[in-house]
Amino acid sequence: MAEEVKKEGMLSPYRALDLTDEKGLLCGKILGDLGADVIKIERPGGDPARNLGPFYGDKPDPEKSLFWFALNTSKRGITLNIETRDGQEIFKRLVKTADFVIESFAPGYLDKLGLGYSDLEKINPGIIMVSITPFGQTGPYKDWKTSDIVAWAMGGQMAPLGDVDRPPFRISHHSQSYLNAGLDAAQGALTALFYRRVTGEGQQVDVSIQESVVHCTEHITSAWDRRKTIQKRAEQSGFRQSQLWKCKDGYISYAYPGARGVVTSDKALLKWITSEGFEDDHFRDFDGNQANPLSEETTERLKQITATFFMRHSKAELLDGALKYDVQLYPVATPADILENPQLAARGFWEEIEHPELGTTMRYPGAFVRASESSPRIARRAPLIGEHNIEIYEKELRISKEEILVLKQAGVI
């Protein structure tokens, strides 16, 4: 497609063909929200990711998956069976018009169909193929399968998560490692696009989900590199790492440093606590000049006083006090808090997207960045199964209605 940038969006001149399953859906969403014409290609009957909940109205339905809605905005959608000869020919016709192909099949799968990068670059020398796989296109693990929990564990991100007296755990109900990989894939795609602008050459971008997780573990790997120590999960006693404290209407996060001394924030917190009538001899032992760790008795007493103080206040009151006293304290936001957050509202973070097939609108997280000339935006809700078949096959590829009917009956579209 043309290299000229249009005003509609940063990537409005470009087209991406999205063949991914849940492992790569975010990549296409990012390109689409940036303005690219992203065509989500599903097998006839719909992508299996449509069966991932939760569902609108709590009724399982491939057309009502909130997971699907979230990760497929700004895309058009067609159905196509690329394992058939006719399907492969149609896909090749689409590749001639495209700038990106995003896929998450096992290494070698597309090559067997004659649709690998070496095949597609002959059709379109500028094509950029973005391949998202569990362990990459090379190496001893390249043919291994994965799930999110496997990638999270083998990427090293699981070991430091959880309680010290219990096994490690995986965060999130949905696939955090896949989201990391989708973001890396979008970065790789845009970097390859810049390279093409300079050289005229396309290329294959190889994204390993394991490596995407490893990139997020610098807080773990750096400790091993420097001190040959393994970061352990947070202790339940003392003041180690971040702590959650209950308050009137939820939780706040505050971390005492423990061990030696008191930082400025802790002195400010104790001043605040004292101003509300809390007095205790142990405060004198906590003056910021300790040469030795605090005694267990002092530590426990400070914890008791702090917990009682926090329970007297709401999250909003504690945030106001933190700003007044210069205390590094933060409310733990619930989903309801996020939806009502005045800062997000002031920046127009939320977007209302129409779902006419459901007779409603839904609120979506909006642009991930603000730009003075062309901010990303959600162009449309996620496509229904085969919603744009006629628009793309008949109007753009000039396939006749009669041939479309034959292809549908043959299970090609």
Contact 413, 393 (CB under 8 A): yes
Handedness of CA 73, 78, 84, 85 (dihedral sign): negative
> Is position 237 within any domain?
no
Q: In what order do the strands lie in the sheet with 243-247?
A: 243-247, 250-254, 330-331
CATH classification at residue 54 = 3.40.50.10540
Q: Judge if 82 and 169 occupy the same domain.
A: yes
- Reported as type and span, the H/E element at residue 8 is none
CATH classification at residue 301 = 3.30.1540.10
Q: Judge if 307 and 361 occupy the same domain.
A: no
The last residue of a domain, from among 314, 336, 358:
336
Q: Judge if 31 and 172 occupy the same domain.
A: yes
Q: Judge if 352 and 249 occupy the same domain.
A: no
- Three-state secondary structure call for residue 124: coil
Instruction: Give the integer Cα–Cα distance in Å for 41 and 92.
Output: 13
Query: CB neighbours of 312 closer than 8 A, spacing ≥ 6?
Result: 248, 276
The helix, strand and coil proportions of the chain, stated in percent and rounded to the nearest 5, come to: 40, 15, 45
Query: CB neighbours of 154 closer than 8 A, spacing ≥ 6?
Result: 146, 210, 213
Count of residues in the chain: 413
Instruction: Give the integer Cα–Cα distance in Å for 64 and 79.
Output: 18
Query: Residue 226 has what pLDDT?
Result: 67
**Burial status of residue 392 (CB atoms within 10 A of its CB: 0-12, 13-18, 19 or more):** buried
Taking only the tens place, the pLDDT of each residue in 241-260 is: 458 899 999 999 988 755 44
Query: Residue 246 has what pLDDT?
Result: 95
Helices (H) and strands (E) in the chain, counts: 16, 11
Helical ranges in 312-378 per DSSP H = 315-325, 335-339, 342-346
The distance of Cα 79 from the centroid of its chain, to the nearest Å, equals 25
Contact 50, 62 (CB under 8 A): yes
Query: Residue 160 has what pLDDT?
Result: 77
Query: Residue 163 has what pLDDT?
Result: 75
| Owning domain of residue 255 | 243-336
Q: Judge if 53 and 187 occupy the same domain.
A: yes
Q: Judge if 291 and 384 occupy the same domain.
A: no
Q: Judge if 73 and 122 occupy the same domain.
A: yes
> Is position 163 within any domain?
yes
The last residue of a domain, from among 288, 314, 336:
336
Instruction: Give the integer Cα–Cα distance in Å for 12 and 5.
Output: 7
Mean pLDDT of successive 10-residue stretches along the chain, which has 413 residues: 54 97 97 97 97 94 97 98 98 98 98 98 98 97 94 86 78 85 97 97 97 83 68 53 84 71 69 82 55 66 87 95 92 94 94 96 92 90 97 97 96 96
> Is position 222 within any domain?
no
Residue 288 tokens, joined: 């910021």
Q: Judge if 331 and 351 occupy the same domain.
A: no
Q: Judge if 154 and 252 occupy the same domain.
A: no
Q: Judge if 307 and 164 occupy the same domain.
A: no
The last residue of a domain, from among 336, 365, 380:
336
Shortest CA distance to 69 belongs to which of 25, 15, 10? Answer: 25
> Is position 123 within any domain?
yes
Query: Residue 301 has what pLDDT?
Result: 79
Q: Judge if 192 and 162 occupy the same domain.
A: yes
> Is position 40 within any domain?
yes
Number of domains in the chain: 2
> Is position 265 within any domain?
yes
> Is position 59 within any domain?
yes
Interior angle at CA 131, CA 24 and CA 189, nearest 5: 85
Query: Residue 3 has what pLDDT?
Result: 41
Q: Judge if 208 and 256 occupy the same domain.
A: no
**Burial status of residue 380 (CB atoms within 10 A of its CB: 0-12, 13-18, 19 or more):** middle
pTM of the model: 0.87
> Is position 122 within any domain?
yes
